[in-house]
Amino acid sequence: MNVSKRVAIVTGASRGLGEVLARVLAERGYDLVIGARNPGPLHDVAESIRQTGANVVPVAGDVTDASVRARLVGAARELGGLDLLVNNASELGGIGPLMAFDVQRFGRVFPVNAGAPIALIQGAVPLLAERRGLIVNITSDAAHGAYPGWGPYGASKAALELLTLTLANELRERGVSAVLVDPGDMRTRMYQDAFPLEDISGRPLPAVTVPFWNWLFDQAPSDLSGERFEAQRQDARWLQQV
């Protein structure tokens, strides 16, 4: 058991923003527990990051499954503890008008985007409290924008935002901090799925957020708890300090 190194859990880490985050943390000396539904791509990412010298434990499975969440937390415990939890896994749920939306699909969108993050946090907080750790929940401008076609996804992210701010208040006495990060529009599979006929080659790759993450992880978590950040916003506070 390694009790000296920092440890992070990152969900949705087999591609896109989650993979970028995992690589940033590995470069910063973290040992990692990474999760995603698809075992093949997840194990490929884990093996690639291991080449940097980081200890990486891949946990494949759906984050809405309690046994998968238990494995994520258990793997962190085996690595020595937990300093950081990033809830990045998300479900788009399809783009289209609310009047045509099959409301039964809420049963997938909300569990992935709001329920599973809170359930994973519940399991991880005892470890996070031991190290005065940080929770990072990935959100979207769709939580506030009321964009046509984005209602279900935006509603789930709005729920996650309120839950995160509540957690920041409730966990303060336990020494655990929680923040929200909107990474902005990026060239990812999810964004392409949202706009299947659109050429998104002009969108930035998720690596555009790397300077923000390095700034965020340099801060004392308790100084930031309850805040919402926009990783690509040009006038954001963090850009003034990079």
Domains of the chain, by residue range, sit at 7-240
CA 126 distance to own-chain centroid: 19
Q: Which of 152-156, 182-186, 207-211 has the lowest mean pLDDT?
A: 182-186
CATH number given to 7-240: 3.40.50.720
Positive/negative CA dihedral, 189, 193, 196, 199: negative
Identify whether the C-beta of residue 180 lies closer than 8 Å to the C-beta of residue 139.
yes
pLDDT of residue 3: 44
Neighbours of 58 (CB within 10 A): 22
Of 170, 72, 180, the closest CA to residue 129 belongs to: 170
Identify whether the C-beta of residue 27 lies closer than 8 Å to the C-beta of residue 56.
no
Q: Which of 3-12, 120-129, 162-171, 217-226 has the lowest mean pLDDT?
A: 3-12
Residue 94 in 3-state DSSP? Answer: coil
Residues with active-site annotation: 153
Q: Write down the pTM of the prediction.
A: 0.92
Identify whether the C-beta of residue 225 lies closer than 8 Å to the C-beta of residue 177.
yes
Averaged confidence pLDDT in the chain: 90
Per-residue pLDDT tens for 114-167?
A: 999 999 999 999 999 999 999 999 999 989 999 898 899 999 999 999 999 999
